[in-house]
Amino acid sequence: MTGGGTGGHTYPALTAVRTLRARFAESGRALDVLWVGKADSLESRVAADEGIAFRAVATGKVRRSSNPLKMVSPANVKDMGRVPLGVAQARSIVARFRPDVVLATGGYVAVPVGLAARMCRRPLVVHEQTVRLGLANRMLARAATRFAVSSESTLSMLPDSARRATVVTGNPVRPEVLAGHADKAVQALELRGFDLRLPTVYVTGGAQGAQQINGLVRDALPWLLSQANVIHQCGPANVAALSEHAGRLPGDLAGRYFLTGFVGPELPDVLALADVVVSRSGAGTIAELTALGKTAVFVPLASSAGNEQAHNARHLADGGAAVALLGDVSAEALRDALAPLLADEQARRGMAERARSYGRPDAADRLADVVLSAASA
């Protein structure tokens, strides 16, 4: 197993491993897993928490720019010089471990391991989470035995040789996310002031929050709370400032506003309660919300690699499966996007159904099938 650097690469890998382990456990067998990643990284911590053996290799990050001259920066040159070392380390690891199959889920660390799999003649399955191919996966496309993608729209971006070996699996979603109960969210978060005759909006910027989304919601809050209940996951560092602002709300509106730095085990239940979600549009978020069939307003992270979040959001918006707020977004733009959805239950349901048509809740099982097929070929 290789891939990491961000949650978007790491957690689909973890879900795939869990799915494969469960398959083997059903038949009384064990799965021998080695995760190869970067030292002191998200993937190293996830592997340790999951009891997965881990080995580290050197890797280099390419800092992209629309100006080709800026690509030849001292930092890029230094990091790219680490790639041959990483390939040599990965080749030694793969040669010793002799895996039946290597699964790569992207991130720069996947490149040396994927190349090492090719050198050692081990089957390589590459999985792409986003609509557009990540740079690492583009580099590995021709080395892959099988290529798994999350969207049919990605197929046209692959070289012909890789396209013939490509399967549309979707992006693995944690099964617990799909098993939430709205009433449990009301109880767990003690949402006594919520008016459940109104729709509920869940606002999230990820574990650390998103300053842009927080600002938009803060500025639209009095109007928003006149239309809906709001659960706002703002990031731990932003709670104090937003609490002060919320303290000036009239009492009836304040009761419909639940502010929290982080949503943990309650997330599946919060998602089940939410009628509309306002969030970034990373690959993992897209996979979860479409698998659930959720109405969403996306505010893409402008600095995401290759502008992939904007492409993810636009892909759904073009099909009427979400609203994408692109460019310089204002509180008025957020209000204009939410107003027709909050006022019209049928509009919400229609968008939710279109979102569900893009979802693949069985993506982890589909990817496990591809991995096992490559291993036995």
Residue 160 confidence (pLDDT): 84
Percent share of the chain, pLDDT over 90: 81
SS3 6: coil
Structural domains of the chain, count: 2
Tokens 């010089």 — which residue?
Answer: 81
53 and 164 part of one domain: yes
265 and 246 part of one domain: yes
Per-residue model confidence as pLDDT tens digits over 330-375: 999 999 999 999 999 999 999 999 999 999 999 999 999 999 999 9
123 and 38 part of one domain: yes
Number of H helices and number of E strands within the chain? 18, 12
> Is 301 within the bounds of a domain?
yes
CA-to-CA distance for 140 and 84, rounded, in angstroms?
A: 15
CA-to-CA distance for 239 and 47, rounded, in angstroms?
A: 30
Tokens 């496309």 — which residue?
Answer: 141
Per-residue model confidence as pLDDT tens digits over 269-309: 999 999 999 999 999 999 999 999 999 999 998 776 668 89
> Is 61 within the bounds of a domain?
yes
- On whether the CB atoms of residues 353 and 322 are closer than 8 A, the answer is no
- Show the domain range for 275: 175-358
CA atoms within 13 A of residue 112's CA, in its CB half-sphere: 29
CA-to-CA distance for 255 and 56, rounded, in angstroms?
A: 49
26 contacts: CB under 8 Å, gap ≥ 6: none
CA-to-CA distance for 114 and 111, rounded, in angstroms?
A: 5
66 contacts: CB under 8 Å, gap ≥ 6: none
User: 182: part of which helix (H) or strand (E)?
Assistant: helix 182-188
188 and 220 part of one domain: yes
Residue 63 confidence (pLDDT): 47
> Is 1 within the bounds of a domain?
no
The DSSP symbol for 310 reads H
Residue 345 tokens read as 């239950």
- On whether the CB atoms of residues 338 and 297 are closer than 8 A, the answer is yes
Per-residue model confidence as pLDDT tens digits over 207-247: 777 899 999 999 999 999 999 999 999 999 999 999 999 99
